[in-house]
Structure 1
Amino acid sequence: MELEPNIPEAARPDATTWSQDRRFKFIDYRLRWEGRLRRADLTEFFSISLPQASADLAKYDEAAPENMKYDLSQKCYVRGPEFKARYGRSSPQMYLSELAALSTGILERSATFLGWTPPVGLAPAPVRTFDGDVLAALLGAIREQLSMEVEYQSMDPAAHSTREVSPTALAYDGTRWHLRAYCHFESRFRDFVLGRLLSAKAKEKSPWTANQDQAWNTLVMLHVAPASEMNDTARKAVELEFGMLNGQLRIEVRQALLFHTLRRLRLESSDVGTAASPNRLVLLNRDEVEAHLDAQ
């Protein structure tokens, strides 16, 4: 999850094993987000000896001497004033994602590099449920390129509940998971909400793959900017929040997920950003984007 600018390999400690590389990432992560690190943090988390922990710290310090200093009063290593993360694993996006996952119980603490954590409050959201056996069957069908007979609870009472599909991918719209599949009944690729799939039974080898899904493979660029009616202070705040360059943000999205993305950003309507429908963001290339919506 390398979400920050690429860091040259030469700037990283030269790990001899995968395990040591993971320990270097742990050192980098703890220094950045907790500002301190003890040898015991390494020995306890990775079940290694004190000499091994000392060797790892020395090797990390050799590659990034500005990143940590030993504090005699605290008897631990502390983050240097010129610290620069050496791994994308230490990105703020990763830290906050792990913090949220830990707070909701999705991740156990042992599965993260988190040590001390601040008090965290999360806005409650309904839990989307789905059948684990169905998910496992769908993953098998995607991997083996099989068609399946599925039972699907549609919102449309006239829709067929049982149909043959060829699963090709999974998609997440920011709120819920979808199965992307070729529907043999409708003769097209479409989305199925994962939680509405009641059963799934493998059938036979399928000719359909994600490579044949034009909407899945077509990328659309959204040109987004702060709403024009904003004052300069509000505009600057939005530009800063979204990391905009020259007052704009470009977001690349699969055409198959275009509607979901626009809805999540509250950009699905041309009224958005007007007095009738206030929003912080506007879509600058709406005509181009809506042409892709019509083509789905």
Structure 2
Amino acid sequence: MPSLTQRLGLRLPIVLAPMAGGISTPELVAAVGNAGGLGSLGAAYLTPAQIGEAGAAVRRLTQEPFAVNLFAPQSTSEPTAPQVERAVAELAPFHADLGLPPPALPPQTSGDFEAQLDAALEVCPAVLSFTFGRLETRHLEALRVRGILAIGTATGLEEARQLEADGVDSIVLQGGAAVGHRGGWSEDELADTLALTRAAAQSVRVPLIAAGGLMTAADVRAVLDAGASLTQCGTAFLRATEAGTSAPYRAALAAAKPGDTVLTRAFSGRTARGLRNAVTAGIGHPLPYPQQNALTRQMRAAGAAAGRADVLSLWAGEGVAQGREGTAAEILAGLWP
């Protein structure tokens, strides 16, 4: 069997983590691909039309393979009226400080996965990666028919085994140090990336992609030696020239010190790792995902426009203090010299 690197035609064993919300711009995706890695377009918050437009933009910038990432469909329950009232009351002071009207939960809180997937199939990337759960057999078959590799995300061994049984082509193993949302759907082990990689290499047979806290060439080499086929890096690229990271977000990343990250549900309702700020400290009763994500959207947009890092979701992994500015190609060169 060809290796995953060979199947994807990569020159470097590095995948750009699919950071949704505007970080993984077409320019960043293409730059990583042109430098020899696999660029990933975080498309979970895009409409079907935007997915098509972003895919076309990537193709105008590169002929290299790339990935599109979506959030797997999840069963969600509507929050109760008291839950909404409590979440709104917690956010109200932040809205008032930003000069916004009182927070209100919009009627539409999540995207249409089936329509997003159809749009991704039309783009026909080399890879469709997904987080937050599992895809149905029909989804995986639709990818297989088009020659698109399916890559799921696991935070522990049991999730990895389930994804393997589903028939995915590869699995991202997300260690506890990783940037952003936890990508699993059952019990999150928050495991050390290297230890999780070693254990999974003995437990599953599909190619593994190690993620979480990989900021240096030594980190990358260690997980490859432990059994990973590829590595996935997110925090390392947050300050890349081509990334869509806002100015206040970049400034907060540049000032970050070891130990400055925290696991929080404050912004989206799902556990995610980012820098501590006023919102992570002040929100104690968030709604579930995706309702909390929708509820905080206006605050986050206004904060970005006002240059207010204290109200932004500053996603960052535990290695954030080792991050640096530079082009995507320069950052890749530091990860695989």
TM-score normalized by the length of structure 1:
0.23
Structure whose CA Rg is larger: 1
- Which structure shows the higher strand fraction? 1
Q: TM-score with structure 2 length normalisation?
A: 0.21
